[in-house]
Structure 1
Amino acid sequence: MTSVPRLRSYDGWQLLSNGFRPFFLLGSIYAGLAILVWLPVFMGELTLTTTFAPRDWHVHEMLYGYLPAVITGFLFTAIPNWTGRLPIQGGPLLGIVALWLAGRVCVCVTFSAETGWLAAMLVDASFLLLVAAAAAREIVAGRKWSNLNIVVLILVLFVGNFAFHLEAHFNGTADTSIRIGIAVVVMLISLIGGRIIPSFTRNWLARENPGRLPAPFARFDILVVAISVLVLGLWVIWPDGAAVGYALVLAGCLHVIRLCRWAGDRTWRERLVLILHVGYAFVPIGFLLNAASAFGMVPAGAGIHAWMAGAAGVMTLAVMSRATLGHTGQKLIASASTQAIFAAVIVAALARICAVVEPAHSVPLLDLAAFAWAAAYVEFAISFGPVLISYDKR
């Protein structure tokens, strides 16, 4: 992501001058606070006025709550660079932000026992539909047809969210819709990460550490993405058994090879690039742990949390940090506080995975995971919040 080449004259609140500003700030705050709420709910010390079962509220607000906010912030900032068109800002952006907020607490999910499950579903699910429509309009107008695959994934995420509400209401708990959402998130990381990680790595290595460069996006990447789509589709429908287990092993190994082709081992001195490789490493780890789960070797949650707390958690903070610095005219340098953010979210991911694998020690590991996660996201909001609401240095 580079700076938007041109901007319309905007004299309003700076927070609404570009999509990454409100969604990165509010998404990070919500990600941190939601986990701090979830911990006492999980321990039975707090009861929420939601129609969702406690576990489903937690899963929904991570998978269909904070993540769509970060994804939207990225898309609304990246699309003008893809198309050369002006970004969504001001009143239209405020309306989309308000809809996301309404889906979180003001009207719907957290207080759905008061507002009703149907109202919660309609307001909450409509956010992703609106985001997909806005993104499609800009991409079509800019004739960047190859980027419509991202819109397709957003629409599938919308379907998953819609199905989540229906499953939770009619079955008492959600199941398939959770795997749909996770599969979409993994594919978004695979697609977007497959573009930006080798690109940012190449740029830094060519300038600071000449030598072996990452392989560019090519036929091998297309093969990996295509196989991942098929394997994740199989996993959504049939998460257990030898067939899906072997398929998950294949996909995991292909992603390991893909990651090794990006020369991440040569980026130790550049933390803003290194963290992208670390975040992506949780993608193959998730495939392999889910394969182990399919064979009955580890509990199912290990691979799921490798994808969600690991790949999604680390990659969102990595992308938000870099994009915020780059789009506000700051130097692309990981400060001490930024590196602390990265360290905290890695600790959170590893602790959450270990809590599943080692149930005898799950309580202290869950506490560590929750507080490390909250620390990472709240620290992002504290460190980057002033930059997100102020004028660019350019």
Structure 2
Amino acid sequence: MTLGSVDQPRKGGIPRGLSPTAPVLFSYGFRPFFLGAAFWAVITMILWISSLAGLATVAEDYGPAHWHAHEMLFGYSSAVLAGFLLTAVPNWTGRLPVSGWPLFWLFGVWVAGRVIFLAPGVVGASAMAAVDSLFLPVLLLICVREVVAGRKWKDLKVIGGLLALTAGNILFHVQVLQDLHPDLAIKLAVSAYVVLVMIIGGRIIPSFTRNWINKSGRTDFPAPYSTFDSIAILSGIAALAAWVLIGEGAVVALVTGTAFLLHSVRLARWRGWTTLQEHLVTVLHMAYLFVPLGFLGIGLSALNALSPMAALHLVTVGTVASMMLAVMTRATRGHTGRVLTASRTTSVIYGAIILAAVVRPLADILPDYAQLFYTVSGAAWLSAFGLFLIEYGPMLAKVRRKLI
């Protein structure tokens, strides 16, 4: 059965396959979730800036700062992850994608969490947390089902990251509802995303780089996956575990410093400088650069040489957001039949999100200029996701273009 055919639903199962009657938007997972993620990334930033300026109130019963942190980690980010997994897992397993009404209802669950979170006082914080906590477990069950049915056991590593993220979301609500700061939940969620970047990035970055180099007629290919990559990933997991469980001190600085060195070498082995003529590939290397930089920031923070907030934003905006935009742009172009090359607007998108990642930590490093850095970083964030909506929104909502 081909990828474009319709899979008849089995008794008690989830209907899968490209529905011939569903709107284009719900024909494939990346379409609604990438579009929804970008839209929400813009809206949440506007609301957060308005809240800081005293122009609007957001989630007062839950806490505006908690709302901001949650929607950055579990709001727009979870939608990007869903769009990626619902598109990538069928490719990994050879099974048909979730499409049509099942995709519509899954997207609806995500939307319900976003809407109800804006005014938790209407239904109560506990009810709001319960509704918001539905999406990730459902996504997890779908992905587990597909990986197990496809017998792709090596992809369970990715499922492990999704499981940690699901647990982090629930823990976030539990801590806030108990009047605790959700520091542990935030670190767990950030760690889950970084692990996914280390695993998935290690799969797609050298592959896309090799394709580009081969297309250029050269043979200076990136180093293939080896024991070194496994050691680097394990060192990163150890560093993140120390950050989550210990938090600070010499031990955390030592393991994160080791991860910084190993992932710097790993990135260099992929020969990113050979791709400078194609920003669609170069941005993947730029995004992964924030993995070792993130470990460096966490290590410095553990020694009180850098504020924890600066280190956190280096990871969340640098590693997570930039890699997500890199994947969103490439996947959208590829799966909608566009040429795999970055337009000028796409290059500006990349530059804007990298600027946001670099500038935001400076607000904590140079507090006297914090307002300026907040403004620049916020504007860069809005530019990145706003331009994504302008250029890629129509692609996501329209029928796939056929390349000639």
* Residues 1:68 and 2:71 aligned together: no
* Residues 1:98 and 2:108 aligned together: yes
* Residues 1:158 and 2:166 aligned together: yes
Conserved 8 A contact 1:193-1:280: yes
* Structure 1 residues 307 and 7: CA distance shift in structure 2, 3 A: farther
Q: Which has the higher contact order (CA 8 A, sep 6+)?
A: 1
Partner in structure 1 of residue 229 of structure 2: 221
Partner in structure 1 of residue 385 of structure 2: 377
From 35, 50, 56, the equivalent of 2:66 is 56
Count matched residues.
389
2:132 partner amino acid = D
Query: 1: CA distance between counterparts of 2:5 and 2:264?
Result: 40
How far the C-alpha of 1:387 sits from its partner, in A, is 0.8
Partner in structure 2 of residue 88 of structure 1: 98
* Residues 1:315 and 2:315 aligned together: no
Comparing 253-262 with 354-363, greater Cα deviation is found at 354-363
Conserved 8 A contact 1:341-1:375: yes
From 27, 43, 65, the equivalent of 1:17 is 27
2:295 partner amino acid = F
1:256-302 residue CA offsets vs partner (Å, 9 max, x unmatched): 01100000011110110000000010111111011111111111112
How far the C-alpha of 1:127 sits from its partner, in A, is 0.5
Q: TM-score normalised to the size of structure 2?
A: 0.94
2:71 partner amino acid = E
How far the C-alpha of 1:172 sits from its partner, in A, is 4.1
Comparing 240-249 with 270-279, greater Cα deviation is found at 240-249
1:316-344 residue CA offsets vs partner (Å, 9 max, x unmatched): 11100000000011100101111111111
Query: 1: CA distance between counterparts of 2:59 and 2:400?
Result: 41
2:353 partner amino acid = V
Comparing 150-159 with 36-45, greater Cα deviation is found at 36-45
Conserved 8 A contact 1:164-1:174: yes
CA RMSD of aligned residues (A): 1.3
Query: 1: CA distance between counterparts of 2:188 and 2:94?
Result: 32
Q: For 1:74, what is the secondary structure of its paired residue?
A: helix
Conserved 8 A contact 1:7-1:87: no
Conserved 8 A contact 1:5-1:81: no
Query: 2: CA distance between counterparts of 1:381 and 1:147?
Result: 31
From 14, 24, 27, the equivalent of 2:37 is 27
Conserved 8 A contact 2:33-2:83: yes
Conserved 8 A contact 1:32-1:376: no
Partner in structure 2 of residue 230 of structure 1: 238
1:229 partner amino acid = I
How far the C-alpha of 1:19 sits from its partner, in A, is 0.1
Partner in structure 2 of residue 175 of structure 1: 183
Conserved 8 A contact 1:40-1:46: yes
- Percent of pairs with identical residues: 39
1:58 partner amino acid = H
Conserved 8 A contact 1:244-1:294: yes
Q: For 1:52, what is the secondary structure of its paired residue?
A: coil
Query: 2: CA distance between counterparts of 1:221 and 1:51?
Result: 45
Comparing 347-356 with 134-143, greater Cα deviation is found at 347-356
Q: For 1:121, what is the secondary structure of its paired residue?
A: helix
1:83 partner amino acid = T
Q: For 2:95, what is the secondary structure of its paired residue?
A: coil
Conserved 8 A contact 2:195-2:237: yes
* Residues 1:293 and 2:301 aligned together: yes
Query: 2: CA distance between counterparts of 1:97 and 1:249?
Result: 40
Partner in structure 2 of residue 250 of structure 1: 258
Structure 1 runs, 4 residues or longer, greater than 4 Å off: none
Query: 1: CA distance between counterparts of 2:226 and 2:62?
Result: 43
How far the C-alpha of 1:165 sits from its partner, in A, is 0.4
How far the C-alpha of 1:5 sits from its partner, in A, is 4.3
1:136 partner amino acid = V
1:103-137 residue CA offsets vs partner (Å, 9 max, x unmatched): 111x2x22112211211121111100000000011
How far the C-alpha of 1:11 sits from its partner, in A, is 2.4
* Structure 1 residues 50 and 7: CA distance shift in structure 2, 3 A: farther
From 77, 81, 84, the equivalent of 2:87 is 77
1:347 partner amino acid = L
Q: For 1:171, what is the secondary structure of its paired residue?
A: coil
From 302, 307, 310, the equivalent of 1:302 is 310
Partner in structure 1 of residue 282 of structure 2: 274
* Residues 1:141 and 2:149 aligned together: yes
1:169-205 residue CA offsets vs partner (Å, 9 max, x unmatched): 1024311111010110111111111100000000100
* Residues 1:38 and 2:48 aligned together: yes
Query: 2: CA distance between counterparts of 1:49 and 1:252?
Result: 37
Partner in structure 1 of residue 204 of structure 2: 196
1:115-171 residue CA offsets vs partner (Å, 9 max, x unmatched): 112111211111000000000111111111111111121111111100000101102
Partner in structure 1 of residue 395 of structure 2: 387
* Residues 1:356 and 2:364 aligned together: yes
1:13 partner amino acid = P
1:344-383 residue CA offsets vs partner (Å, 9 max, x unmatched): 1111111112212211111011011011101110110111
